[in-house]
Chains A and B, each alone.
Chain A
Amino acid sequence: MTAPALARTRFTELSARERTIALLDPGSFRELIGPFERLESPHLEPQGVVPACDDGVVVARGELDGERAVVLAVEGLFQGGGIGEVSGAKMAGALELALRDAERGHPVYPVLLLETGGIRLQEANLGLLAIAEIHAAIVALRSHVPVVGVVAGMVGCFGGMAIAAGLCSHVIMTREGRLGLNGPQVIEQEAGVAELDSEDRRLVWETIGGEQRVATGMADALVEDEVGAIAGAVRTAFDAGPPVVHRSSQVERYEARLAGMDPLDQLDGPALRALWRDDGGGR
């Protein structure tokens, strides 16, 4: 595919590996623990679940505008992008190595492509432990380099990995992307359809979709679902440098926001945008 044609390709139509290749400077992609090493989950076959040779996460070194980078991409189509022992270790381990490099004065720019439902239920507490290690690594690393997260869709980013997104220095979303702790179906199951009709697409996206998240300051950039746009947004995020105060550290601001509203009032996406726009909206 020619470069211009690739630039116009829908990011959401690409696999995790293809997204990673498309994001990095051409020719710079170098995968670590690639598919042929077949480092897969040891826990799936015993449960009768077919494993993936890369356990659903791609880790690749490469460059972004000539700068050293590492991309961690979750394959949302494999087990809903659920994080297990191996996939979680790939992410945490890569972030830990990036931290080591940063501490030695050789920063590597980290990008997380997040298509994930959170913890892979079939691996439960191993996924939980791995995600805690991902969280720890993001917090340590982001004081050295910005940690950039991309939530493009169509799986979105949920669970413990939504918490990881909340820890990132910059979050880039498309309109198709969704970012929330509990997925719509889980909320409907647990709290009933009156609480949230998971089939009501407009409501779901108005609540946790990319446009809503950016408008209420919970994500930084809303971009088109296009390789070129997302690749550009990632580079722009690194150029901008880290935020003065990370979103997850803005305690006073968010406590004030929550205190300044009545939790029993009817509140929807548009109403929240209006409410929070008045206090400065984004960052």
Chain B
Amino acid sequence: MSRGRTWFEALAGATFDGEPASVLCADGSVRGERARFLTVVPDPEARFPRARSGELGLEEGWALARRVREVVAADDDRGDRRALIAIVDVPGQPYGCREELLGLHLALAAAVDAYATARLAGHPVVALVVGQAISGAFLAHGMQANRILALDDSGVAVQVMSKRSTARVTRRSVEELDEIAKEVPATAYDVTSFSRLGALHRLIDGVDAAEPDAEDVETVRDALAEAIASARHDGSIDLSGRLASPEARQHRDASLRVRKRLAEEWSR
């Protein structure tokens, strides 16, 4: 079973029966906080053949957007805005002529739009990376979160392209890429290297990412609750917090220097 589904069912305390079957959605709670859980899973019966193994394709992009916007609309005149929990285990996006023709880039933009809109409207958006978080799929489902959490596990990886494909495109060997990854942690795939870039709110260790027991689930539930509370507490609705962490000050210092220089030169 996909890790996304495992964690979805454990945290939401529910299974999902709707459409499309590849986008699981359930309303539940996290330590008393209302939350909608969302994840993308394999669907061997998916209408688009190239998106049957858990890829974030056309239907998935627009469906995520719909599920997120439902929450924004429903809570629009309420005092409290419920949390959105994006459980992330996506192997990437589908490679297909039909996908491109039908605007795959726009389907992913729809999910980005929805999550960002929810965050701007005051909904705490929390991403929980339990497996793979690849490229466009992660941009669409997870990267617009106020808080990103990840399980510290060898099966958890944040990357932009498979090592094999990267080797081909950059005309280097996989061995050379591994050497480079030691110098440039941004190119490494393991979650510990990703955490060094400062965008992770919490790296949760001691948890079985593939087959969590009840205690593991509670540990993660606690972490989600803390992340939601943290997001609500600082009231920030943008992504600036990612650059404020000590890790970012060290490993994304060029990003900070650029912003500082731009601000200095902006008006004259």
Residues of chain A touching chain B, judged by Cβ–Cβ distance below 8 Å, are: 30, 32-33, 37, 39, 41-43, 46-47, 59, 61, 85-86, 88-90, 93-94, 96-97, 119, 121-133, 135-136, 139-140, 159-160, 162-167, 179-182, 186-187, 189-191, 195-196, 203, 207-208, 212, 216, 218, 246-252, 254-255, 258, 263-264, 267-269, 272
Contact = CB atoms under 8 A, between A and B. Distances in A.
B183 A46 contact: yes
A164 B143 CA distance: 13
Interface in B16-49: 47-49
B238 interface: yes
B165 A190 contact: yes
B265 interface: yes
In the A-B complex, the 10 residue pairs with the closest CB atoms:
A166-B109, A162-B105, A89-B258, A132-B143, A139-B116, A190-B95, A248-B113, A126-B186, A248-B109, A93-B259
Contacts of A162: 105
B170 A90 contact: no
Contacts of A123: 184, 186-187
B168 A189 contact: yes
A195 B262 contact: no
Interface stretch (B7-15, B132-140, B209-217, B225-233): B132-140
B102 A258 contact: yes
Given A136-B238, A258-B62, A119 B160 contact: yes
A251 B110 contact: yes
Contacts of A32: 261-262, 265-266
B93 interface: yes
Nearest to B176: A47
Contacts of A190: 95, 165
B159 interface: yes
Contact of A130 (B96, B255, B262): B255
B186 A39 contact: no
A165 B106 CA distance: 8
B117 A33 contact: no
A182 B100 contact: yes
A272 B102 contact: yes
Given A124-B187, A126-B186, A89 B112 contact: no
B229 to A, nearest CB: 22
Contact of B170 (A85, A122, A196, A252): A122
Size category, B interface: 35 or more
Nearest to B184: A43
Contact of A136 (B103, B138, B144, B169): B144
B106 A254 contact: yes
B255 A85 contact: yes
A276 B259 CA distance: 42
A85 to B, nearest CB: 5
Contact of B262 (A93, A133, A212, A251): A93
A207 B110 contact: no
B120 interface: yes
Given A121-B160, A129-B252, A196-B96, 14 more contacts: A32-B261, A39-B254, A43-B184, A59-B262, A89-B259, A121-B187, A124-B161, A180-B104, A180-B105, A181-B99, A181-B108, A189-B168, A254-B106, A269-B101
Interface in B148-187: 158-161, 165-166, 168-170, 180, 183-184, 186-187
Interface in B212-268: 238-239, 242, 252, 254-255, 257-259, 261-263, 265-266, 268
Nearest to B261: A33
B238 A90 contact: no
Contacts of A121: 160-161, 166, 169-170, 187
Contact of B101 (A43, A252, A272): A272
Contacts of B83: none
A180 B66 CA distance: 22
15 contacts: A47-B184, A97-B263, A125-B160, A126-B186, A126-B252, A128-B135, A128-B160, A132-B144, A181-B136, A182-B104, A186-B169, A195-B95, A216-B103, A248-B109, A249-B113
A128 B143 contact: yes
A64 B16 CA distance: 51
A61 B267 CA distance: 9
Contacts of B140: 163
Contacts of B104: 180-182
B138 A128 contact: yes
A218 B101 CA distance: 10
A268 B108 CA distance: 21
B66 to A, nearest CB: 5
Nearest to A142: B113
B129 interface: no
B199 interface: yes
B186 A41 contact: no
